[in-house]
Amino acid sequence: MAGTGEAKKEEADYKRLHSFPLIRHTDMPEEMRVETMELCVTACRTKMIKESMDKKFGSSWHVVIGEGFGFEVTHEVKNLLYMFFGGSL
């Protein structure tokens, strides 16, 4: 029984750690940034970020989610958001 309680505590700690985004860099307008952050927090659970961004702000959005990788991008001014969660995403 103690193992079940410990597993639930670990899951709650994991969810708490990953429940707030940390902005690394952005040049988006405030309103777009807030909406995008909310969308990412919600959509990370459903894997629907790109489809939602395309629908809301027009096509050609690129979304990168994962661990232990690097990337280099060119972007349209006022359309970049680089954020991460307190853990590894």
Q: Is residue 44 part of a domain?
A: yes
Give domain status of residue 50, yes or no.
Answer: yes
Q: Is residue 72 part of a domain?
A: no
| 67 occurs within a structural domain | no
Q: Is 82 helix (H, G, I), strand (E, B) or coil?
A: strand
Domain count, the chain: 1
Does 43 map to a domain?
yes
- Asked if the structure places residue 45 within a domain, the reply is yes
pTM of the model: 0.52
Instruction: Kindly report the backbone phi and psi dihedral angles of residue 78, in degrees, each rounded to the nearest multiple of 5, phi listed first.
Output: 70, 25
78, amino acid identity: K
For residue 2, being part of any structural domain is answered with no
Domain membership of residue 36 (yes or no) is yes
Range(s) of the domain holding residue 45:
32-58
pLDDT confidence of residue 82: 86
pLDDT (tens digit, 9 = 90+) per residue, 11-44?
A: 665 555 555 678 889 999 999 999 988 888 777 7
